[in-house]
Amino acid sequence: MSGKSFESPWQRIAFFTLIALFIVMTLFPMLYVLKISVVTPEELGRAIPTLWPRDFDTTRAPYFFTAYETVFSDPIFKQALVNSVVVAGITTVICLIVGSVAAYALARINFVFRSSVQSLILAISFFPAVAIIAPLFLQFQTFGIIGTYWAMIIPDILFALPLTVFLLLAYFRELPAGLEEAAKVDGANIWQAFYKITIPLSAPGVVTTGMLTFIFAWNEFLFANTFALDETTQPVTVVIPQFATTYTTDFGAQAAAAVVVTAPLVALVLIFQRRIVSGLTAGAAK
């Protein structure tokens, strides 16, 4: 950033103050959930909540917080983690395979109604998911897949695929087609040029798209809550609210489960942050 970006020191102070406020507003909810997961129930029940933790809840686990011990000792929650990985992983892989081919076709092939196809794909992403819950339930019941992974994977793909296509489409359009033509001159067919030239060069866009698709499927609740009928297939988004009884709610365990579920996503974003930034800014300037 050059020194001419701000006309006066006051503008610079105002700019960095707004940035600091944005960071605080972004991190505060997560930090407060983390605080809830480590304090005692008595501190949680105070009429005036505290901003910083005072009494740590380690009554049952001297070297581990009680809420996390409750979460990790629950077999239902551990199975839910596996279920979420399976559902989000399969959804991401299928969306990347199908979406990359569809985006490549839209980016490279001129055909009739190409704009209409793009508009239709975009329209699907805006369709309200709750409007198709009942028809999907009846159809999935007919095919006998209610209570299975596929009952969640199929609708997740339906709503994640448009995002996958449009992100990859924007990236493929910025790649020079001459590289693929050169590969074809050397004897490669269209599929070899696609998988050996286009996809490797599109790594930042593919990683970004995969991350966003995985996060969408990992956080999905509506379809999972409707189609996963028992703990054998329920993902973590459905299981977290179940740390409660008829008369009490274990807020500490719910907060600890939320931290455990969010931590892998944060780790993945930090690991691939450079590729994600590169993918999101692709096409911003020619």
pLDDT tens per residue, range 41-55: 777 777 677 777 776
> What DSSP assignment string belongs to 74-105?
-HHHHHHHHHHHHHHHHHHHHHHHHHHHHHHH
Q: Which of 55, 80, 84 is nearest to 252 (CA)?
A: 55
- pLDDT reported for residue 63: 47
Q: Which of 246, 261, 268, 265 is nearest to 78 (CA)?
A: 261
The pLDDT score that the predictor gives to residue 62 is 52
Domain annotation for the chain: domains and CATH numbers: 3-67 (no CATH), 74-280 (1.10.3720.10)
Q: For residues 94 and 122, give the distance between their C-alpha atoms in angstroms, rounded to a whole number.
A: 18
Confidence at residue 59, expressed as pLDDT on a 0 to 100 scale: 60
What is the pLDDT at residue 285? 46
Give me the pLDDT at residue 286, please: 41
95-150 pLDDT, tens per residue? 999 999 988 888 887 877 888 888 888 888 788 888 889 899 999 999 999 989 99
Residue with tokens 């997961």: 37
**pLDDT at 4 (0 to 100):** 54
pLDDT for position 15: 85
Contact criterion met (CB below 8 Å) for 74 and 254: no
Q: pTM for the whole thing? A: 0.81
Phi, psi of 249 (to 5 degrees): -130, 130
Residues of the chain with pLDDT under 70: 1-7, 47, 55-64, 245-247, 274-286
